[in-house]
């Protein structure tokens, strides 16, 4: 938790998503990797101009996802190059994190170490679940040992719990609160809560149920919009915003400068107590 507090000086930080275009080696790759880099840099420029609080890079378009044991070295290499390009744009003005789908947590840590990133977002930190790409096993012990092994202690680890696009039937007898407490006990730096799928609203009652029960930041991981941020503002601690920042609010589209600007203007007003 101290790692994240050190990164974010403003109340309720907003983390903007860069959903990287399909990478080499994936089914939808367009053979235009230089264009992929340019697009990522352009979206970083939009976020800087829009006064976003942080950026999270993710290989969201690498459909269909594979589990980490099947990730090729090309994914790590290409995401590293993109991370460096984004860092050239933000010049350490903004914290920058990375997520590697699916459950490429060690890969994300390695990139964060090599590219001087500030945090990673992880899947499968505590308790196994069945995701659309297969069974995801808990790996907190492996990830934190690896972070220590590569001397990446400065890299924060925010962790999804009861994550989207997944079945949690095998842990149905473990409550959200018990899962959150387990993640805290296993040294997570922040908890990410989501709706059932990308773009779906996070259940506000889920967030409320964890307030005062854990001493970790509660981070909204999906479904945040201009219309609902007023409600979330009162109960959560931060938000990752992807779909809303895209043209027409669809995650597959490009980042829309006007949507970023208007959303962040509302955040500024909320911080000032104007709304």
CA distance 275 to 262: 14
* CATH architecture of structural domain 2-270: Alpha-Beta Barrel (3.20)
d(C-alpha 20, C-alpha 85), whole Å: 12
Parse the chain into domains and list their residue ranges. Answer: 2-270
CA 127 from centroid of its chain's CA atoms: 19
pLDDT score, position 132: 78
pLDDT of residue 199: 65
Chain-centroid distance, C-alpha 260: 17
Mean per-residue pLDDT for 71-83? 97
Please report the DSSP string for 14-41 in residue order. EEEEEEPPPPTTSTT--S-HHHHHHHHH
pLDDT in tens, 174-204: 899 999 999 999 999 999 998 876 667 899 9
Render pLDDT for 89-98 as a digit per residue (tens, 0 to 9): 998 889 999 9
Q: Taking 80 as the threshold, does the pLDDT of residue 134 lie above it?
A: no
Cα angle 232, 58, 252; round to 5? 75
Per-residue pLDDT tens for 198-249?
667 899 999 999 999 999 999 999 999 999 999 999 999 999 999 999 999 9
Q: How many CA atoms lie within 13 A of 209 on its CB side?
A: 13
Distance (Å, whole) CA 13 – CA 8: 7
pLDDT at position 2 is 64
**With a threshold of 0.75, does the pTM exceed it?**
yes
Which two three-digit tokens encode residue 174?
């473990």
Complete edge-to-edge strand list for the sheet that includes strand 166-167 = 134-136, 129-131, 166-167
């Amino acid at each position: 938790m101290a790692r994240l507090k050190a990164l974010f000086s403003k109340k309720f930080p907003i983390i903007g998503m860069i959903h990287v275009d399909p990478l080499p080696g994936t089914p939808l790759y367009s053979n235009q990797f230089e264009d992929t880099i340019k697009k990522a840099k352009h979206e970083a420029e939009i976020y800087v101009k829009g006064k976003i609080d942080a950026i999270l890079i993710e290989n969201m378009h690498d459909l269909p996802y594979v589990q980490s044991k099947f990730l090729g070295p090309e994914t790590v290499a290409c995401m590293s190059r993109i991370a460096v390009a984004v860092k050239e744009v933000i010049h350490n003005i903004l914290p920058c994190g990375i997520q590697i789908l699916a459950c490429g947590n060690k890969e994300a840590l390695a990139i964060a170490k090599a590219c001087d990133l500030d945090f990673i977002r992880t899947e499968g930190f505590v308790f196994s679940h069945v995701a659309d790409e297969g069974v995801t096993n808990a790996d907190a012990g492996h990830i934190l040992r690896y972070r220590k092994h590569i001397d990446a202690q400065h890299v924060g680890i925010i962790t999804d719990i009861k994550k989207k696009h997944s079945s949690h039937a095998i842990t149905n007898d473990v409550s959200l609160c018990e899962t959150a407490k387990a993640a805290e006990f296993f040294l997570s730096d922040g908890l990410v809560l989501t709706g059932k799928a990308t773009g779906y609203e996070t259940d506000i009652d889920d967030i409320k149920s964890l307030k005062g029960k854990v001493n970790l930041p509660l981070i909204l991981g999906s479904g945040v919009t201009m219309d609902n941020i007023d409600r979330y503002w009162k109960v959560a601690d931060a938000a990752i915003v992807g779909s809303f920042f895209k043209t027409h609010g669809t995650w597959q589209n490009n980042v829309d400068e006007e949507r970023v600007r208007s959303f962040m203007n509302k955040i500024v007003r909320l911080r000032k107590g104007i709304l």
